[in-house]
Structure 1
Amino acid sequence: MKHNAWLLPLLFLLLSACQKPDEEVMPSPTPTSVIKVEGPDSGKAGEAVLLDVYFVVANGCGQFGSFGTTVQDSATIVAVYPVYIGEVCTLNLPTRKAVYSYTPTTKGKHTLKFWQGTNNYLIKTITVE
């Protein structure tokens, strides 16, 4: 029995050494291309308009990370920033979907420009009453 007494602490040490600390997953600093936007073409001021945004990621580990928005002229520019979680990823270019919530505050036509590449946008116009 004394001969095996050292085995338990050694086993505990080996198993606990294999655990990785939780790492914070940060979105990619580069946006990814939006390929399609689906949703209503009209809405009411002060009420959210929900849009399904489809985008491509670089491999099977890619998931939605965040939306980035800026206002330029009278249009809202929306970019999708993916996150890549995992170490072993498939080498395909899957399409993912995320829901973008846009809440217009004024009546009129609102232009949303979804980033597809440098100076290239998919445009969605929403008429707000």
Structure 2
Amino acid sequence: MKIVRLKMVAFALFMAASFVACSEDDGVLLDITKKTVVTNVAGDTTGEVDKEIPLDITFIIDNNCGTFSKLIKETTDKTTIIEVEAKYLGTNCGSTPSTKRVIYKFKAPTIGTYTLKFKKSATEFITHIIEIS
């Protein structure tokens, strides 16, 4: 009986060891999203009601697995705070930061002065003011 039990324990240890064996790729799989910072905003500062104004936004990614995910916007009256969210997906991503670009299409529903504040850090912004006529 002890031999049977010993063989069962040995078999269980063997199976457990085979499940934790090395995987085929040695890189760590990243699959995360996180907010990142904007380094530059370029585009027109005037426009018309209900006409799109494209703004070229440059942002930083942490490594070569980073891509644009989405824009997070919070609007109060005619002021909008905008953050960029990056998605990191892949393996062997390295650790060299770089920049990426995305186009933000702004459209105003009424005449007035609109202030767009792009997050440069936790407390700083790149401000882009657009006059709509």
TM-score (norm 1): 0.75
Amino acid at match of 1:54: T
Amino acid at match of 2:57: V
Deviations 1:7-51 (CA, angstroms, capped at 9, x unpaired): xxxxxxxxxxxxxxxxxx9762x3100000011111111011110
Partner of 1:3: none
Amino acid at match of 1:125: I
Q: How many residues align?
A: 105
Is the CA contact (8 Å cut-off) linking 1:27 and 1:65 kept in structure 2? no
Partner of 2:54: 50
Partner of 1:70: 74
Q: Rg: which structure is higher?
A: 2
Gaps of 5+ in 2: 1-29
Q: Report the RMSD for the aligned CA atoms in angstroms.
A: 1.9
Give SS of 2:35's match.
coil
Is the CA contact (8 Å cut-off) linking 1:27 and 1:66 kept in structure 2? no
Match of 1:102 among 83, 106, 114: 106
Partner of 1:38: 42
Partner of 1:59: 63
More strand by share: 2
Match of 1:85 among 81, 89, 94: 89
Gaps of 5+ in 1: 1-24
